[in-house]
Structure 1
Amino acid sequence: MTVLRHSRKPVQMWTRLTVLTLIIVSGTLLSVSNTQKAYADYSVTVNPAQQYQTIQGWGSSMAWWANWAGGLSDSQRIPLADKLFDPNAGIGLNVLRYNFGADGPGNVCHNSIASGKAGIYTNLPTYEPTNGSYDWTQDANQRWVLQAAQARGANIFEGFVNSPPAWMTTNSCTSGSNGNTENLSSSHYDDYASYLATIAQHFHDTWGLTLQTVEPFNEPTPGYWNYNGDQEGTNVSTGTQNTIVNKLGAKLDQTGVSAYSQVSAPDDTSVDRSNTDYNSYDSNAKAYVVQYNTHTYGGSNSDRDYAYNTIGQSGNKRLWMSEWGTGAQSSPIAAGITLSQSILNDEQHLHPSAWVIWQAADNYFSSGGSGNGGSNNDLWDWSAPIAMAIWSIPLAIMRWATIASLSVLAIR
């Protein structure tokens, strides 16, 4: 039996530290208590001939939490990066989705976004604040986290967008437009494709950060994204998605960026919507999409089966579960259990190559419980990383029984 121990030394920002001990024995999670319990023996048959997917890894979208965490002092952000990304000192998340922000001069919705969600930072600066003028000093906080993750072994990166920069929109608002109307101006479709390709190229050539895919959409069809909303977003019809995918794919080819960064899509809110979006694309757009992204906030298991069998297997596309979050739960452990159930459901039916939580760490605690929403700004919720560790550890050390001591860090 291998024993993994993590440092219990408190960091200055964490004034209360508790330790949750997770015992993983032959794939079974046992609780630690003074009372011994007997568990029935069972057997699992592994058939190596039945292969569903190649696992690229486990990870998180960045955006809000990374913008906050990257702005902490070194004494705070370095231990946090260790716990999230270091495979020895932490849980070794290796997949990150970097958010290309949209905020800049002329964003008339800056204040509504900034004040909309207490305790988190939903305005992300754009690298192209005005047409044709790039500012690579922007977004230093989020970029620090990505570079820190890479230094600790993270190796699968994607760029994604919630909204185009304000100057590309029809109403100068990066939170969207009312009535499920589109906000990316048709006169800027080519600019948008160039913007995404330019960022991917700069990341690769200047910072040594290779984005294997660029995702131009985020939940494009449900109609969530309204004027004066509280977070960045934009509505995109399936027809416009098809146009953008074709333009982005062509631009990546034209600039040579497709040698290392390719297109992922459609990243819709549920598997059924993502299936509908993807199926609406023409053959040229489908050829540009090397990776099918979907969120799994909705959709049936038959929708997951369809995505795997028809899009993944028959269509020869890599599949990612690119976003999911627990929402408010009654406690951290309840959030972790809900997360684990979601992972199991996706792994049994969708068989994604990567499973990506929405936010790896929350600096807030919901009045309704733990999860990825809240207002009190007083607690680090580590239930998601812990639950993901339960899944990732057995994949790495399937032949050993393991005791893992993981820290639950709380700000009070």
Structure 2
Amino acid sequence: MGEMRLGFGEKISRRDLLKLGVTGAAAAAIAAGGRKPWFLSEDRSSVASVRKDPSQIMQGFGASGAWWPNDLVHFDPGVQRRVGELLFDREKGIGLSVYRYNIGGGGVGVRIPEHAPQTFLVRPGVYDWSRDPGGRLFLELAAGHGVPIIVGFANSAPAIWITNHLNTGGYLIRGAEPHYARYLADVAEHFRSEGITLSYISPMNEPDYVWGGGVQEGMAVPIIQRAILVEHLGRELARRAPHSRVVADESSQVGSQFIPEVPAWMNVPAAAEQVAALAHHTYDYPDDATLRRARRLVGEFFDRPLWMTEISCWDSRTKTYGRQYDPTMTNALWMAGAIHQDLTQANDAAWHWWVALSSALGCDPMKDPSCPYRMNYLGYDKGLIYYDPDYRENGNQQLYLTKRYWVMGNFSRFVRPGYLRHDVLGAPAGLKVLAFSGGGGWQIVATNDSRSPRTLRLRLPEPHLHPTAAYETSESRNLEPVAPPSVHRDLLVAALSPRSVTTLLLQRRRRA
């Protein structure tokens, strides 16, 4: 085979052209010289590839409705509806596919009012379903927008079943498990009668910690007691609310709690058979090796989906939990990296941020209008959206959107429950690439951590895909349309802006 010389001095063999699908007139045009085609624009060693066989069935991206509804219930109805659109609408917002509704314990002993959600329980078997107006409002908005997965989670059982008779600092009373399980099943059954399905119930959020001091609701559940609670809850739901399944145990840390503790209660067969998904938080900000240990534990021994159901408050100075408010791309890129790490290393099927909204700005937006948009070390990176903590006094009901909010949308709006995640091999340093298939096409989410523009070259597992759109979040864009990638046969090429997260959408071509 001879060689053809490109117009700018580079050579390519006819065999290489054939491998690229370049024949006939196109090959002649290259031979005649002229601009190098885009699909030969870089060293082919930088081409990443997507595996054809999937690694995971996705079960959603979401955030929780803990606490902030107790404030937002006092806001103007127009603002409330706008929050619903921002969180749950796929056209006007980021289309979260999971909403975590906080089933309150009553807030007894909690000294921060908005952290004290009401309980429906008046006494065992007697309920006041008019309670928790804020929580119910946003639960109804989530259901009204068609959020496909709603999880009911509890930080504490009602105080009657806690050792210190408070919703903070105590333990679930031994022997109270069947009573508490019936209460949770009653809640699921009630909302079903109202047209709202709680697809999952999580009975013990962070059971490894009592949350003493009254900062928030919390209860500890000793390891073996978790098996008893899960068994009772699973049986109650199966009998009266079969549309709801159990997710557990939402340990706060992967390495020191989830990995050593889950086997102790999941090895109880009567409990294990009731568990639809195993869930962990990542407040130890684990490394890859720790996440892979969790993946092996769940995949090899328990054969359940693994979920990451809570994370926030990462301090860029200490690389751990801390006080910092950062609405910029710096924290948003960290979040995108955490999603990539949890999905690829732990094989998490779901990924949930902590609270959707927060008032922990750490600054006064009425005195300094620029403060919600820049970093400070007085607030906390808890929310996707923020509001003024002094709204009662100053009447400020403005919503402040972070770059985290928009980056979450790069995932939640486009990667829906039931879509498949495929491993990406050979991504260049500085690029994190996730690939999903579903909805008649593919969704590629690419993160460029560097301060320079980059080009993604990605070999797709099927040819003839049609690029339809691309959406970028960066320093200058908020989930905004940009030029879609180019695709030649099975090779995708996309330009990525500095410090950006970009979602690339491709559809299968319809065959005549």
Using the size of structure 1 for normalisation, the TM-score is: 0.78
Cα pair distance change 1:153/1:139, threshold 3 Å: same
Deviations 1:372-396 (A, max 9, x none): 2899737735233212123345647
Match of 1:349 among 342, 345, 350: 345
The CA deviation string for residues 180-215 of structure 1, in whole angstroms up to 9 with x for no partner, is: xxx2222422211111111111111x2211112111
What is the match of residue 488 of structure 2? none
320, 329, 346: which is aligned to 2:324? 329
Which secondary structure does the structure 1 equivalent of 2:273 belong to?
Answer: helix
Amino acid at match of 2:236: K
- Residue 248 of structure 2: which of 244, 265, 281 is its match? 265
- CA offsets 1:112-141 (integer angstroms, 9 cap, x no match): 243xxxxxx100001113232211111121
Matched, 1:198 2:210: no
Residue 209, structure 1, aligned to residue 204, structure 2: no
Give identity over the alignment, percent. Answer: 29
Q: Is the 8 A contact 2:313 2:381 kept in 1?
A: yes
- How far apart are the structure 1 equivalents of 2:133 and 2:165? 24
> Counterpart in 2 of 1:48?
52
Equivalent residue, structure 2, for 1:12: none
Q: Which has the larger radius of gyration?
A: 2
**Separation in structure 2 between the aligned mates of residue 292 and residue 219 of structure 1, nearest angstrom:** 13
Gaps of at least 5 residues in structure 2 are 1-40, 315-322, 363-375, 391-398, 416-441, 445-466, 481-512
SS at match of 1:146: helix
Distance in 1, Cα, partners of 2:132 & 2:220: 24
- Structural RMSD (CA): 2.6
Structure 1 residue 314: Cα displacement: 4.6
| Distance change >3 Å, CA 248–CA 330, structure 1 → 2 | closer
Given the alignment of the two structures, is residue 236 of structure 1 paired with residue 221 of structure 2, yes or no? yes
- Structure 1 residues 188-243: Cα deviation after superposition (integer angstroms, max 9, x where no partner): 22211111111111111x2211112111111111x3522x4210001111011111
Choose between structure 1 and 2: higher helix proportion. 1
Match of 1:85 in 2: 88
2:406 corresponding residue in structure 1: 386
Indicate the SS of the match to 2:335.
Answer: helix
Equivalent residue runs for 1:8-23 within 5 Å:
none
Alignment of 1:61-140 (within 5 A): 61-103=64-106, 107=108, 109-110=109-110, 112-114=111-113, 121-140=114-133
| Residues in 2 aligned to 1:351 and 1:262: alpha-carbon distance in whole angstroms | 21
**Which one-letter code corresponds to 1:372 in the other structure?**
K
| 1:344-383 matched pairs, under 5 angstroms | 344-366=340-362, 368=377, 369=379, 371-372=381-382, 377=389, 380-383=400-403
Aligned length: 349
Aligned to 1:60: 63
Task: Report the Cα offset of residue 400 of structure 1.
Answer: 3.5
Measure, in 2, the Cα distance between the counterparts of 1:350 and 1:288. Answer: 22
Cα distance in 1 for residues equivalent to 2:414 and 2:143: 23
Q: Which amino acid in the other structure matches residue 233 of structure 1?
A: G
* 1:162–1:234 contact (8 Å) kept in structure 2: yes
Structure 1 contact 320–352 (Cα < 8 Å) conserved = yes
More strand by share: 2
Counterpart residue identity of residue 150, structure 2:
F
Amino acid at match of 1:280: A
Encode CA deviations 1:255-305: one digit per residue, 9 max, x unaligned: 332x21111111000123122222001122111111101101124423322
Q: Distance in 2 between matches of 1:352 and 1:290?
A: 14
Report the equivalent of 1:156: 149
